Amino acid sequence: PYYDPELRPLTGLDEPVAQFVLEHGTTKKFLKSWFELLDVVMPGYVQEGKSLLSIAVGCTGGQHRSVAIARATAEHLTSQGYRVTLFHRDLDAAQKKSQQAE
């Protein structure tokens, strides 16, 4: 999305960027495997009595791909009945920086 002038100012929270990222063939393969892995390990994690799991997703700029994939991961885990808190470190930092400049 960074190299598309229409998508560059947007983030992975915006539908055009999320669609661009999530509809890519490589991303689809990754998410299929990623969700399958989560579906296998999460029940065991809970069964062991663990109540907190941190998952970090990164990309070059922290604005497009990682945001869309983190959101898709949160949606998947929520659909499986897990409670999820989603935090976008780089997006939140950029928003604070932008607000301070105003």
Task: Give the span between the Cα atoms of 20 and 27, in whole angstroms.
Answer: 10
Mean pLDDT of 73-93: 93
Judge whether 68 lies within some domain. Answer: yes
Question: pLDDT category, 91, cuts 50, 70, 90?
Answer: confident
Mean pLDDT of 5-10: 95
Question: Residue 95: pLDDT above 90?
Answer: no
Judge whether 89 lies within some domain. Answer: yes
Residue ranges making up the domain that contains 29: 15-101
Judge whether 2 lies within some domain. Answer: no
pTM, 2 dp: 0.87
Q: How far is CA 23 from CA 31, 61, 70, in A?
A: 11, 19, 15
Looking at residue 62, what DSSP letter applies? S
Task: Give the span between the Cα atoms of 53 and 63, in whole angstroms.
Answer: 23
Domains in the chain, number? 1
Work out the mean pLDDT of the chain and round it to a whole number.
92
Judge whether 7 lies within some domain. Answer: no
Share of the chain above pLDDT 90, in %: 83
Judge whether 8 lies within some domain. Answer: no
Judge whether 42 lies within some domain. Answer: yes
